[in-house]
Amino acid sequence: MRSRPLLLITLAVLFAAVGVFAWLWHSGGEEAARMAKAEPRQCLDPASDHTGPHPGMVYVPGGTFEMGDTVYPEEGPLHQVSVKGFWIDRHEVTNDEFAAFVKATGYVTVAERPVDTVAYPGLPADMQKPGAVVFVMPNNVDGSGNIAQWWQYIPGANWRHPGGPETSIEGHGSFPVVAVAYEDIEAYAKWKGTSVPDEAQWEWAARGGKKSKPDHEQPKEANTWQGIFPVLNSDEDGFVGLAPVGCYKPNAYGLYDMIGNVWEWTTGIYEGDPTRRVIKGGSYLCAPNYCKRYRAGARQGQEVDLATSHLGFRTVLDAPAP
């Protein structure tokens, strides 16, 4: 809970640049509901994903590449990195997979545990209760850029109830697990016999073998946000919110949703601060008007103990090539 008081600062950095477009579209949330819906997509069945020496994982051959990108300052400078071959989960860890871990171990996630109000005095009343930060699409925004208009700390929100205590993951077994803190995902990986990817592994895998200059366009084959964040989501990619894993074309390695859907944890320490780790890939909330982080080279710092509704993970394995 150490950095929980820094919540607003963190989120302000994370979402500071919502511009005048959002204000102009102040009633857009209602309009979004009237927009034409995309055709339903065929999604991967994670239960069918159990072949090969490491079921559910694919092998990514090693290589050398220019890591980073040039859109936001934190992505640079570009620097050459070599990565050894490794295995990585084909898709984001799902609710069903995380539930199997919890069932086997009795693990209780950070967002479900009591908040240490002695160590961190002065927290607002709601934040003294276990919970998570949840994106709630507003119908109106006032143009101030105040992220509290769309991010809410909701007591009782956690991986079982990702939108708050009245919500559930029932019927969402193939959706990515969210509201998991860093120690939660480390515990999962340890149980699974895998590990959390480092940033270079993750970025190399997300590039799908491309060594050329990174593309900065919003990808079509990824669950991101089309329209004006946070009030107008035109749903062109088929999902206003989270999607089940594997609904978009995989990259050249056969990896799904490296870009978009949920952000993914890596081991990378962010800007030398051990209370923050690097997250990668952007999420369903990334839109051209404020967060062009739907790219392999994009990165973001995240408080290790902060559970949020747009952040999940996948794991890697150091094992011989097939």
**Interface with Ca ion by CB under 5 A: which residues?**
223, 237, 239, 257, 261-262, 281, 284
Nearer to Ca ion, 32 or 262 (CB): 262
DSSP letter at 259? S
Minimum separation from the CB atom of position 179 to Ca ion (A) = 15
Q: How far is CA 270 from CA 100, 276, 277, 280, in A?
A: 30, 5, 5, 12
**Region of residue 158 (phi > 0: left; psi between -120 and 50: alpha; otherwise: beta):** beta
Minimum separation from the CB atom of position 223 to Ca ion (A) = 5
DSSP letter at 308? B
Minimum separation from the CB atom of position 288 to Ca ion (A) = 13
CA distance 301 to 184: 17
Nearer to Ca ion, 14 or 127 (CB): 14
Nearer to Ca ion, 153 or 290 (CB): 290
Minimum separation from the CB atom of position 285 to Ca ion (A) = 9
CA distance 27 to 184: 38
Q: What is the largest CA-CA distance in the chain?
A: 55
Q: Where are the beta strands (DSSP E) in the chain?
A: 57-60, 63-67, 79-83, 86-89, 131-135, 151-155, 227-228, 232-233, 263-270, 273-280, 300-303, 311-312, 316-317
Amino acid (1-letter code) at residue 295: R
156, 104, 148, 149: which is closest to 130 by C-alpha? Answer: 156
Minimum separation from the CB atom of position 258 to Ca ion (A) = 6
CA distance 192 to 196: 11
Nearer to Ca ion, 281 or 297 (CB): 281
Minimum separation from the CB atom of position 114 to Ca ion (A) = 30
Nearer to Ca ion, 135 or 153 (CB): 135
Nearer to Ca ion, 186 or 257 (CB): 257
Do 310 and 294 contact (CB within 8 A), yes or no?
no
Minimum separation from the CB atom of position 205 to Ca ion (A) = 11
Minimum separation from the CB atom of position 92 to Ca ion (A) = 5
Pairing of strands 311-312, 300-303: unpaired
Nearer to Ca ion, 153 or 284 (CB): 284
Minimum separation from the CB atom of position 29 to Ca ion (A) = 15
Nearer to Ca ion, 185 or 262 (CB): 262
Contacts 24+ apart (CB under 8 A), 271-276: 271/74, 271/301, 273/301, 275/2, 275/3, 275/303, 275/304, 275/305, 276/3, 276/301, 276/302, 276/303, 276/304
Nearer to Ca ion, 131 or 197 (CB): 197
